[in-house]
Amino acid sequence: MAFLCQRDSYAREFVTTVVSCQPAELQTDGSNGKKEALSGFHVVLEDTLLFPEGGGQPDDRGTINDISVLRVTRRGAQADHFIQTPLAPGSQVQVQVDWERRFDHMQQHSGQHLITAVADSLFGLKTTSWELGRLRSVIELDSPSVTAEQVATIEQSVNEKIRDRLPVSVQELSLDDPEVEKVRGRGLPDDHAGPIRVVTIEGVDSNMCCGTHVNNLSDLQVIKILGTEKGKKNKTNLIFLAGNRVLKWMERSHGTEKALTTLLKCGAEDHVEAVKKLQNSSKLLQKNNLNLLRDLAVHIAHCLRNSPDWGGVVVLHRKEGDSEFMNIIANEIGSEETLLFLTVGDEKGAGLFLLAGPAEAVETLGPRVAEVLEGKGAGKKGRFQGKATKMSRRAEVQALLQDYVSTQSAEE
């Protein structure tokens, strides 16, 4: 038996009877990224207005007696509605569908049927699967590539058919009906029960499908193909939007365009060139900044080398800099007799560190320095460098290094 949502996809509410209500759990994505189990009930109704997930289409949302339905799944010829309040079997209930979500799914699913049929008819591009996503939908085509010209032709053709206001009808066929052999489809679920449901776009396509659909292509409003991406196993993913999603996409795009016009101080037609100029300027500034940083590193190295405090343990911290900056200083100094402890980054937060000096001392002290700074690092040939999370403990590292030098001097 087909559910009411399949017999009349435009129905928004109706009254039915509770058949059963059993304790159940629903696995959901928690706020910490881990799965969480919600306790509740699986309610089975005599009939349902809420579509259970299937055929690439997500399930509906809605209410039963104003109780939110959090998931709808198909089990053979029945639909399980997960709610968190029990309902008495035999009681009459009012079911309402989240119409905005339902109509969106109708537009995307019928849009997929139309694109699939046209892509096959025009270019022999077969659909192997599809996904109705939260923001965009994807059709997997059995081809290693699809040209931009083919995409444009498909888009033009499907929108012409929308403007032609072609009707979309649904009929049910028995499994042994010879008409079944003429219908496009990718097989039936193992637990399928009852007649086969066929969705037909007049003069375009007939396809086995359990989903909810518009009854006329004019309800799709418009289809926009955003482009293609490389798919799995030598296939191509075609990305599209249908109906209200196109309007929302245009609204977001227009908002972005207005913001860029304000930031770049030029019209939309000049945005790309303006960004290219900014990128080139940024690259030049980065190059100049790097050269200045290198010159500064060399200057600092000479100052440290000629300082009256030179020897034993030498410490330097700068907020600005990177690993290359610290290595230039170490290279310029080139001393294997002094322990050089360099750090860059936030004085009390995260940053980078480098320990240079006698190979044996660095090998011994490097991991201990990383531990004190609550970071990680590695080293060889008199250098140990890495990332730190607690730069505020630099004084502890300095004390550790000075204690080591003092102990070594005493032993000598």
pLDDT of residue 337: 78
pLDDT of residue 310: 78
Q: Are residues 301 and 377 in the same domain?
A: yes
Taking the C-alpha atoms of residue 150 and residue 141, their distance in angstroms, rounded to an integer, is: 13
For residue 362, being part of any structural domain is answered with yes
- Sequence-distant (6+) residues with CB within 8 A of 178 are none
- CA-CA-CA-CA dihedral for 112, 113, 117, 118, to nearest 10: -50
Last residue of a domain, one of 242, 273, 306: 242
For residue 379, being part of any structural domain is answered with yes
For residue 256, being part of any structural domain is answered with no
pLDDT of residue 356: 93
pLDDT of residue 192: 55
pLDDT of residue 182: 64
- Residue range of the domain that includes 404: 288-409
Q: Is the pTM of this model over 0.85?
A: no
Q: Are residues 86 and 107 in the same domain?
A: no
Q: Are residues 335 and 308 in the same domain?
A: yes
Taking the C-alpha atoms of residue 232 and residue 36, their distance in angstroms, rounded to an integer, is: 31
Last residue of a domain, one of 68, 97, 126: 97
pLDDT of residue 237: 98
For residue 210, being part of any structural domain is answered with yes
Provide the residue-wise pLDDT of the chain in tens; the chain has 412 residues.
589 999 999 999 999 999 999 999 998 887 777 888 999 999 999 999 999 988 789 999 999 999 999 999 999 889 999 999 999 999 999 999 999 999 999 999 999 999 999 999 999 999 999 999 999 999 999 999 999 999 999 999 999 999 999 999 999 887 767 666 667 665 555 555 567 889 999 999 998 898 999 999 999 999 999 999 999 999 999 999 999 999 999 999 999 999 999 999 999 999 999 999 999 999 999 899 888 888 988 898 888 888 877 778 899 999 988 898 999 989 888 767 789 999 999 988 999 999 999 989 999 999 999 999 999 999 988 999 999 999 999 999 999 999 998 887 776 6
Q: Are residues 89 and 123 in the same domain?
A: no
Q: For the chain, what is the domain count?
A: 3
Q: Are residues 318 and 369 in the same domain?
A: yes
For residue 254, being part of any structural domain is answered with no
For residue 315, being part of any structural domain is answered with yes
Any idea what the CATH number is for the domain that residue 136 is in? Answer: 3.30.980.10
pLDDT of residue 100: 97
Per-residue HEC secondary structure of the chain comes to: CCCHHHHCCCCCEEEEEEEEEEEEEEEEECCCCCEEEEEEEEEEECCCCCCCCECCECCCCEEECCEEECEEEEECCEEEEEECCCCCCCCEEEEEECHHHHHHHHHHHHHHHHHHHHHHHHHCCCEEEEEECCCCEEEEECCCCCCHHHHHHHHHHHHHHHHCCCEEEEEEECCCCHHHHHCECCCCCCCCCCCEEEEEECCCEEEECCCCCCCEHHHHCCEEEEEEEECCCCCEEEEEEECHHHHHHHHHHHHHHHHHHHHHCCCHHHHHHHHHHHHHHHHHHHHHHHHHHHHHHHHHHHHHHCCCCCCCEEEEEECCCCHHHHHHHHHHHCCCCCEEEEEEECCCCCEEEEEECCHHHHHHHHHHHHHHCCCEEEEECCEEEEEECCHHHHHHHHHHHHHHHHHHHHHC
For residue 278, being part of any structural domain is answered with no
Q: Are residues 68 and 143 in the same domain?
A: no
Label the pairing between strands 339-345 and 313-318. parallel
Q: Are residues 215 and 292 in the same domain?
A: no
Last residue of a domain, one of 75, 97, 119: 97
